[in-house]
Chains A and B, each alone.
Chain A
């Protein structure tokens, strides 16, 4: 836990000569340190013919370096009780881990080493490819994943970087060899696009010195920035069903492409989504679908703005016989909020919730690291946690109403339905 949160965060930021940014937040609540190292090396940077390349690179990158064998890395992590998570999103590849304070130096050394000096042995590529193929096969059997992946494709188009499956396909993974991984690593895992956040029981001066020494002598930047194209799909009502034998429940994903994270309308959209499908146990959507109609264990919406136009997605898991009733209920709530906006009481409640939830976003070293990483990625500033309450407070009911009027139109919704074939089915 942070020791400083009553007064807000006080991170120290330094840019090295190779472009790497280091951000450190000291806390003293627990004798542990969290590391979050993000490179702009997500799936958007893959060649069009090799979807899944970033994902597979992340799976193999910590399985051997010039200095350490896969076994040596395993020994260093396991002996300290540490797991290293390497995750890719559309835009980033992030190395994250938490260790005891006494192990910080060694863990940072491992993290920088695997990012900088990975060797991608052929045998490791083969093993991790087989695991990645199995993960894709598991996803094929998961109605929630199928609905979400289908919705992304419907919203953005199958060739758009936000529309294609970030894990790739069985076919594309079979075509990814060590050379392709090596090229991706050489091109994109570069210090100029590294943001290294360190949070915990460590002094900022020491952490920066250590990080700088481990990154010394490493240089380079990607050749060109990637520009996110607009969605290649013209918005219009689309419904797609994915029949899945042997399943008990149907997953519905219903959504729209909206705005980017730096759009000035962001805070209005954030609050609008809170009213629609978050406040309480799922906003207006859960009030209708779960509380009044008893149709679903989960019914909510999520808003995921990113560099490009991110999605606003309504999700519900329902009995196959209730699919059409659920879509009707979602349509009704979307239409109502879009046409009439929120009530003043809803805006007050949501505002109070969003402002009050900021300390919870910063409850652990791990979550502080994630918050600072996002702030750095979008250039929100080192004082963002202290400015955020004011930014939320300044949102008016008209802002929220405008966001709802702009985004929420049932006739423009894309709807993906994955599950057992229902007798009633869904109608457009």
Chain B
């Protein structure tokens, strides 16, 4: 054991080491010796759900700034710290969390911990860097706008929520990105990047005592901060269907149907996971794994009702574990030439069929088996194990993940029918269309009209 003065914490999973440093940093370690790799993730309980109007996108912008050098890591040396070991490094921001990761050979462990400690406390936020990153992020936003499906998603989310900050995109609104200042960034950074608002997760070919010793060496001198209050906004009940129509240049029509969804800790969440697997096929049960592998969905209700009937070329569903009630999103790509009315009608008809008649026990069995397989596939690498641990620790607490499978297994057909009836009704949905207009067919013929210039 490491000689540290650590507060005891509950560890449900006996394979985990789970400790607190005196400054409140939670450290989670899992030894996995099957590959000579270690993955380090530092999670912060802050995301776009913590942002007020006028400051949308600040969490994501701060994440970008934490790749730009610290007091003890000159900016130009930042990228080499992990990469010289062959490692990968990255980060992401979403509604409840911001996280940074490195995966590399075990020899890089000390440098990875050093990097994360520097990020937590000693970011430089040089004024010139803040300005150049402003335009980088606007470029990221505009790249997303090139995708009509993403454009529609942004509009639908802003319509589905009336009060809750989950309504704005994580990247922020363009005008806020243009207006925010370096002071806004630094203030956000200092408020949320404190050890008692973070979890350090280390998984891989390591000795847990070494990790805890390293965590203490690098992080213990960072002082505990004032625990940030998170915004508590309760979305008012939706009383009637809301609709969004985007008519814009394009080639393909898209339909989205969005319902308010339970938070991860709501008992309804597990029945919703099973319901989604029945409607669209099971995905990985966290943000990172949800889109890694295509879901098994050929027998899924909405796939057979739309894709097999030639109305849509793709169907997808998304329900994510989140700290507060978020949304359940169903997305459809219309087959070329099929009216969006037909796509929407078929989707709503199938949802109503489930609400009226419920689901078969065999449907539930298949969905539970799919979810069990996905939970195995989610753990296929040290990087993914570490992500899963940190994700659930950050948004739902330490007891959640060990009981997830059990809670899914306990879901009954009756419970699935119940959540379908209560949660997928017409009054609580938001429907969005992206209707392509005025788009010429841009095939090879048109391209030859713009010949090469030399």
Contacts and interface: CB of A to CB of B under 8 A. Distances in A.
Interface stretch (A40-48, A132-140, A210-218, A259-267): A132-140
Interface string A144-171: 1010001000100010000000000111
Interface in A1-59: 1-3, 5-6, 27-32
Contacts of A290: 136
Nearest to A350: B83
A141 B439 contact: yes
A248 interface: yes
A242 B447 contact: yes
Contacts of A279: 79, 83
Contacts of B374: 81
Given A294-B133, A356-B86, A154 B35 contact: no
A247 interface: yes
A248 B146 contact: yes
B282 interface: yes
Nearest to A363: B381
A349 B34 contact: no
Contact of B443 (A127, A135, A170, A237): A170
Interface stretch (A72-80, A190-198, A221-229, A399-407): A72-80
Contacts of B333: 134, 138
A78 B299 contact: yes
B310 A364 contact: no
B239 interface: no
B183 interface: no
Give the contact-size bracket for chain B: 35 or more
Contact of A352 (B86, B205, B250): B86
A360 interface: yes
A281 B37 contact: no
A419 B380 CA distance: 39
B252 A355 contact: no
Interface stretch (B41-49, B212-220, B227-235, B290-298): B290-298
A83 B296 contact: yes
A117 interface: no
B170 interface: no
A344 interface: no
A239 B133 contact: no
A280 B451 CA distance: 36
Nearest to B375: A81
Contacts of B250: 141, 246
Contacts of B313: 130-131, 134-135
Contacts of B135: 294-295, 319
Interface string A260-292: 000000000000000000011100000000111
A307 interface: no
B148 interface: yes
Give the contact-size bracket for chain A: 35 or more
B294 A74 contact: no
B146 A247 contact: yes
A118 interface: no
Interface in B174-195: none
A317 interface: yes
B356 interface: no
A376 interface: no
Nearest to B139: A297
A317 B143 contact: yes
B253 to A, nearest CB: 9
Nearest to B83: A353
B104 A356 contact: yes
B94 interface: no
Interface of B: 32, 34-37, 67, 79-80, 83-88, 103-105, 131-140, 142-143, 145-148, 205, 248-252, 281-282, 293-300, 307-308, 310, 313-314, 333-336, 366, 369-374, 376-377, 379-384, 436, 438-439, 441-444, 447, 450-454
List the 8 closest A-B pairs by CB distance, nearest first: A356-B86, A246-B249, A81-B373, A280-B79, A294-B132, A74-B298, A297-B140, A81-B370
